[in-house]
Structure 1
Amino acid sequence: MNHGSDPDNSSFDHKSKKESLSIDLLSDLPTELLSQLKKTGLLSLKDIVIEGPFELSAKSGISMDDCNFIYNQAIAYLEDVGIMEKRFTPATTIYDKRKKIGRISTGSKNFDKLLGGGLETGAITEVYGEFGSGKTQLCHTASVIVQLNRNQGGLDGGALYIDTENTFRPERIETISRARRQNPSQTLDNIIVARAYSSSHQELILSESRRIIEAQNIKLLILDSAISLYRSEYLGLSALSLRQQRMNKLVHSIMRIAQTHQIAVLLANQVQSSPETGFGNTSFKAAGGNIFAHSSTYRIFLRKSNRNRIARMVDSPNHPESEIVFSIDESGITDPQKI
């Protein structure tokens, strides 16, 4: 199959990019199978990869064997055009590619240093802590900064803000924008907000988000909070297994979205009491159990410290455990003022 050359990004608009990844590229498929696949509404190779073979089979009625073949063909094409890593890649190639990875500033130099430069594209950054620890403030600040150019800490893109706790406030966006000398109206226009009212509604929004990401040049996906609706709906030990299954499916879908669309994902998570003593004599741990612990690329615990906040890197594939101090003011997340 001849894929041709990858057009220059400056002239490669979102419409042509979407069309170039059409499932029609799966030319090895029988016509009737391709027709059946199109009826699911999954028209892009990225959609197929994000769904996975099991969900693809459930939605289309196509056998698992055929769906595994379709999935592997889609992966192979995305590898071929450089969207996903090839199956066998020299470590030097991955290292060189990571040097060019996109990052979004948090607004705080201290916080950016903790993350190795900011919120990373193609990765999930999870922040958790008690109320008032700065989770939602970080979400608001990042959704403003992502719109700046790369030299200013942004990615020249928009933000998709999935709000499950009714915590998004456009007034706060306006305040942060003015403090950072950005146009509030333009900033608000570049933030797409989706209010989720149930866990199934949240999953539907996430499924439909792929269209928004492509059409609106989204570079940052925010879930605030990722787990609250599941915790409120699946109560008791009898519902625990189903809840964990649903959350596992959710977080792996988020992971595939981050990787195939090369966007940054910021998850705000809740905490739950723990009989074990954590760092700083706190007795809280992130909600969600091992599902989120194994799926998030970076896990950061936030806590109050008088007028400031402390962020601690709890889990990372390439950062040591360390902590920094940051503050919150009119401009959102920032560094403490030196006295």
Structure 2
Amino acid sequence: MEEPSLKDLTGVGERTLKRLERAGIRSPRQLALMTASELASIADIGESHALAITEAARRELEGALRIGVMKAREHYEALLKQRKLTTGCSNLDSILDGGLEPAAITEFVGSFGSGKTQLMHQLCVTVQLPEGRGGLAGKALYLDTERGFSPKRLIHIASRFGLDEGVLDNVFSVNVVNSDHQVALLDEVERLVRSEGVRLVVVDSLTSLFRREYPGRDILAERQQRLNRY
């Protein structure tokens, strides 16, 4: 079922719609995951109004987001229907109970040179595989904060999976210049997911720009707040 638009929500008139769009909010899904105080702050609306809007968004999407009341069996059956994305490595898939979960955040942590960026490139290839081979028949978006993205590496990996350099046409990449740019790109991410069939978003890496721009302990709290919002 198609998700409702912002203007379909109770409490969202033309004036409020313009405020939400100026704040970078394009969908009820974004609202459903925000607190009323956060929405009031970024959209410059009253907190009671913000609360009404976020609650309306959650009511509309409680099935899609699985935030309504449901039996454990219903939850379990919904999980069984989800198609996971293979990493292209059977041992890693086994550790992840079949691969990467959809509509979820998976974080890979390791020391420098441990293969994290290599794995991110491999995922950009495996997401293009048909569902019968563990893929999602979709495209990828690579947000590169460390200048590690390599089209040549994608082509090399693709050959291992029987694909050619056509994989490059299904991967979008962005050189992220600073943490402000990284946060601002969230709006572009949603557009690509909706319009271009992007099924995987890679951020490599999530924290490097924030660590670089907020180095001191005296601004650690500010850095964490920005990361949490991202």
Question: TM-score per shorter chain, which class?
Answer: over 0.9
Greater helix share, 1 or 2? 2
- Normalised to the residue count of structure 2, the TM-score between the two structures is 0.92
After superposition, residues 125-274 of structure 1 pair within 5 angstroms as 125-185=106-166, 187-250=167-230
**Structure 1 residues 131 and 38 mapped into 2: Cα distance closer, same or farther (>3 Å)?**
closer
Measured in 2, the distance between the counterparts of 1:151 and 1:100 equals 14
- AA at the equivalent of 1:53: A
After superposition, residues 317-328 of structure 1 pair within 5 angstroms as none
Partner of 2:55 in structure 1?
72
Q: Percent identity?
A: 36
Instruction: Identify unmatched segments of 5+ residues in structure 2.
Output: none
Instruction: Identify unmatched segments of 5+ residues in structure 1.
Output: 1-5, 7-16, 251-339
Instruction: State the Cα RMSD in Å.
Output: 1.9
Q: Is the 8 A contact 1:47 1:210 kept in 2?
A: no
Q: Is the 8 A contact 1:194 1:205 kept in 2?
A: no
| Secondary structure of 1:221 counterpart | strand
Measured in 1, the distance between the counterparts of 2:35 and 2:138 equals 27
Deviation of residue 74 (structure 1)?
Answer: 0.6
Measured in 2, the distance between the counterparts of 1:29 and 1:230 equals 34
Measured in 2, the distance between the counterparts of 1:146 and 1:27 equals 37
Q: Is the 8 A contact 1:196 1:202 kept in 2?
A: yes
Measured in 1, the distance between the counterparts of 2:180 and 2:87 equals 30
- Normalised to the residue count of structure 1, the TM-score between the two structures is 0.64
- Larger relative CO (CA 8 A, sep 6+): 1 or 2? 1
Greater strand share, 1 or 2? 1
**Structure 1 residues 198 and 22 mapped into 2: Cα distance closer, same or farther (>3 Å)?**
same
Aligned residues: 230
- AA at the equivalent of 1:133: S
- AA at the equivalent of 1:45: P
Q: Is the 8 A contact 2:10 2:56 kept in 1?
A: no
What is the CA deviation profile of residues 216-242 of structure 1, one whole-angstrom value per residue up to 9, with x for unaligned ones? 111111111111001111112112111
Measured in 2, the distance between the counterparts of 1:50 and 1:183 equals 39
Pick one of 83, 97, 105 that aligns with 1:124.
Answer: 105
Partner of 1:90 in structure 2?
71
Measured in 2, the distance between the counterparts of 1:48 and 1:156 equals 28
- AA at the equivalent of 1:60: A
- AA at the equivalent of 1:125: T
**Structure 1 residues 204 and 237 mapped into 2: Cα distance closer, same or farther (>3 Å)?**
same
Deviation of residue 130 (structure 1)?
Answer: 1.3
Measured in 2, the distance between the counterparts of 1:96 and 1:141 equals 29
Measured in 1, the distance between the counterparts of 2:12 and 2:210 equals 38
Q: Is the 8 A contact 2:32 2:54 kept in 1?
A: yes
